[in-house]
Amino acid sequence: MSDKQQQLVELAGRLADEFAGRAAQHDRANSFPFENIEALKHSGYSALVVPERHGGMGADLLDFILCQERLAQGCGPTALAINMHLFGIGSMVERAGPQPRPEQGLFLELVGRQRKIIGGGLSEPESGGDWGLFATTARRDGEAYVINGRKVFTSLSPVVDYFMVMATVEGDGPPSSATFAIARNTPGLELVETWDAMGMRATASHDLILKDVRVAAAAMADPRPVGPLGAEAISLFAWFELSIAAVYTGVAIAAMKFTREFAQRFKPFTLERPINYLPGVQFAMAQAQVLAAQSRALYTQTAREHLEGRGADNPEQALAGLIAAKYAAVNNAIRIVDYCMEITGAHGFLRRNPLERLFRDVRAGINHPLSNARAREFIGKVALGVPLSAVPRW
């Protein structure tokens, strides 16, 4: 690790250790950790990926995922929630290059110096995780767009200052979609507190309803026709897939840490030594360690390759690689926590131990795009030379 990475990961570690003390309570109460978000803002972590000249910490993709892996070891839901804010900004910084456009500079100042929070408005009840066109629509009306729809899984919703809402732009031309930055107090926006999930409970991923929401045309970003995936998609996927991989690996590492301590101290009276001396326990722990090592090697190496610009000449291959790293990590993370449950026996099943919560949290990983089924489709088609746009799809 570079000195800079060391410093950033230490910061993530201090925050993680603080958040760990509150994780069980927020999980139990299904409450949102406002105090964690304040700490993220105060420490500068909420501006981790913003360049230093705009008030941030200048983390690149690899710095970011190393930090997120560490943060998630303290509180998976807080790491996941702030991931939804940070990944898009990181990708925007990467795509903007050294000289962002004036509106991009303004946006970075909002996040970097004013510590504003950005939230996602991508997923919908109608389209789920199969994105392309959105059921949410944007209709041009003079110098504004009028937006209608419903977004689900809006993580961080209690503290989002600007919702980035993706919508299908209505018009005569070819189908296109765009992202709209919508300030929290805009008339027609309504948050409905629906979030009561099995895991990642403290993310407050509620529903966002948009009813005739008027936004200035200037608030529209990234309009694009629905079609082939290019450099922009590679950057967005790199920042999303690899950070999701790191967050769920962080949850799994927390489970391994608890399991190690448990196995070192738990000594049934029938044994002379604690259970870490049992072969079954050692072999199960070895499996977990190997899976974690595989995940980390894959997503850090994939991040390095992305930073070196590899894959730009073959976008589909690059995307398949990014998707594969996420696919491997989130599925490995589930298996790791399962091994930990095996080692701890019924103790892991008890709510007073953190493993029960980590077991539930880690299960959400496969639902983030690309879900297992879509990841297999993408990776399989690219590997077999089947065009992603082939119709019929199967």
Ligand X SMILES: Cc1cc2nc3c(=O)[nH]c(=O)nc-3n(C[C@H](O)[C@H](O)[C@H](O)COP(=O)(O)OP(=O)(O)OC[C@H]3O[C@@H](n4cnc5c(N)ncnc54)[C@H](O)[C@@H]3O)c2cc1C
Q: Which residues of the shown chain bind ligand X in the complex (CB under 6 A)?
A: 80, 84, 120, 122-123, 128-130, 153-155, 200, 203, 205, 364, 367-369, 371, 373-374, 377
Q: Which is nearer to ligand X, 68 or 344 (CB)?
A: 68
**Smallest distance, ligand X to C-beta of residue 198, A:** 9
DSSP one-letter string for 275-312: GGGSHHHHHHHHHHHHHHHHHHHHHHHHHHHHHTTTTT
Q: How far is the CB of 120 from ligand X (least distance, A)?
A: 3
Distance of closest approach, residue 237 Cβ to ligand X, in angstroms:
13
Query: What contacts 30, CB < 8 A, 6 or more positions away?
Result: 195, 196, 201, 202
Q: Whose Cβ is closer to ligand X: residue 115's or residue 201's? A: 201
For the bound state, the minimum distance from the C-beta of residue 166 to ligand X, rounded and expressed in Å, comes to 8
122 vs 334, beta carbon nearer ligand X: 122
SS3 385: coil
Which residue in the shown chain puts its C-beta closest to ligand X?
Answer: 128
Our CB check for ligand X shows the closer of 249 and 276 to be 249
Nearer to ligand X, 350 or 383 (CB): 383
Among positive and negative, which fits the CA dihedral 157, 158, 164, 166? positive
Beta-ladder partners of 119: 163
Q: What does the angle CA 211 – CA 203 – CA 58 come to, to the nearest 5 degrees?
A: 100
In whole angstroms, the minimum distance from the beta carbon of 367 to ligand X comes to: 4
The two three-digit tokens of residue 272, written as one number? 């002379």
Smallest separation, CB 65 to ligand X (Å):
18
H helix or E strand, kind and range, residue 140: strand 137-141
Cβ proximity to ligand X: between 205 and 332 the closer is 205
